[in-house]
Amino acid sequence: DVKVTQSSRYLVKRTGEKVFLECVQDMDHENMFWYRQDPGLGLRLIYFSYDVKMKEKGDIPEGYSVSREKKERFSLILESASTNQTSMYLCASSRSLSSYNSPLHFGNGTRLTVT
């Protein structure tokens, strides 16, 4: 069974801090994703990666960057946290980006509060 692990369930950070959200998957999946979930807005894609050191912007990349140095690990970086980045962050992985039969497997989320 695929396991996607997000290192923190809850984080509280101050405005202006640099924040790292870590995600690890154990199924050798090629693709990894970062979403944020906000009430009334659903899940919105921030960034995704289809290979080590490769990344693509999603729908809302502003204020974020990512790092994928190893296949199993995908990090989301908030360079200078702001209060509008308070949200639930969800990491996901999938086997293929070119197949319909490759649903996303999500981690349990990190609830980030920026004060």
Partner 1 sequence: DQQVKQNSPSLSVQEGRISILNCDYTNSMFDYFLWYKKYPAEGPTFLISISSIKDKNEDGRFTVFLNKSAKHLSLHIVPSQPGDSAVYFCAAIHFLNTGFQKLVFGTGTRLLVSP
Query: Pick from 24, 29, 74, 109: which binds partner 1 (CB under 8 A)?
Result: 109
| Beta pairing class for 10-13 and 110-114 | parallel
Token pair, residue 54, equals 């490769």
Q: Does 66 bind partner 1 (CB under 8 A)?
A: no
Q: Measured from the CB atom, is 14 or 68 closer to partner 1?
A: 68
Judged by CB under 8 A, the number of residues near partner 1 is: 24
Whole-number Å distance between alpha carbons of 24 and 48: 14
Region of 11-19, 61-69, 78-86, 107-115 interacting with partner 1 (CB under 8 A): 107-115
Secondary structure of 41-78 as H, E, C letters: CEEEEEEEEEECCEEEECCCCCCEEEEEEECCEEEEEE
Q: Which stretch binds partner 1 (CB under 8 A): 14-22, 63-71, 78-86, 97-105?
A: 97-105
